[in-house]
Amino acid sequence: MVETLQTRDVEFTSLPENIKIIEALVERLKSELDMSEEMEANILISLCEAVTNAIFHGNKQSPGKKVKVRVELRKRILSFYIEDEGFGFNLIKIKNPTLPENIQNPTGRGIYLMNHLADRVEFFEGGRKVVLTFFQ
């Protein structure tokens, strides 16, 4: 991965169609940083899940609320900071989507996917801020 990006900030309203902004961001990062297809896929899925959670669960799709995404590259470590304006959530209450009683639920896999695709996932301010980190 080539190191050219240092920091980039993106902010948008909490509308589902704004996920396209994240898809375009990851596509630009792929070409700028010459990342592998696997890393691009892991970032795209993880980041889209985090932003979807911010839009739907954090900001409740309120167009008056913003989602902020910051991208940082430092010494071959790519970090994404996602912040919403919601009230947060209790991470302990998140159900394991792989358990038989949860397997049929139509939602609830986002954090599970992030944890399996990113190298590190951290939650701050009661879940209002998520940091996804990828090592290269």
Q: What is the pLDDT of residue 57?
A: 95
How much is the pTM? 0.92
pLDDT tens for each residue of the chain, 136 residues long: 555 568 999 999 999 999 999 999 999 999 999 899 999 999 999 999 999 999 999 999 999 999 999 999 998 899 999 999 999 998 888 888 888 898 888 778 999 999 999 999 999 999 999 999 999 8
How many structural domains comprise the chain?
1
Residue 50 lies in a domain: yes
On whether residue 30 sits in a domain, the answer given is yes
Domain that includes residue 82, residue range: 7-135
Is residue 37 classed exposed, middle or buried when 0-12, 13-18 and 19+ CB atoms within 10 A define those classes?
exposed
CA distance 68 to 51: 9
Please report the pLDDT score of residue 1 as a whole number: 59
Tell how far CA 70 is from the center of its chain: 10
**Quick check: is 32 in a domain?**
yes
Domain assignment present for 1: no
pLDDT at 2: 55
Q: Read off the CATH number of the domain in which 24 is found.
A: 3.30.565.10
> 20 in a domain, yes or no?
yes
For residue 10, the model assigns a pLDDT of 97
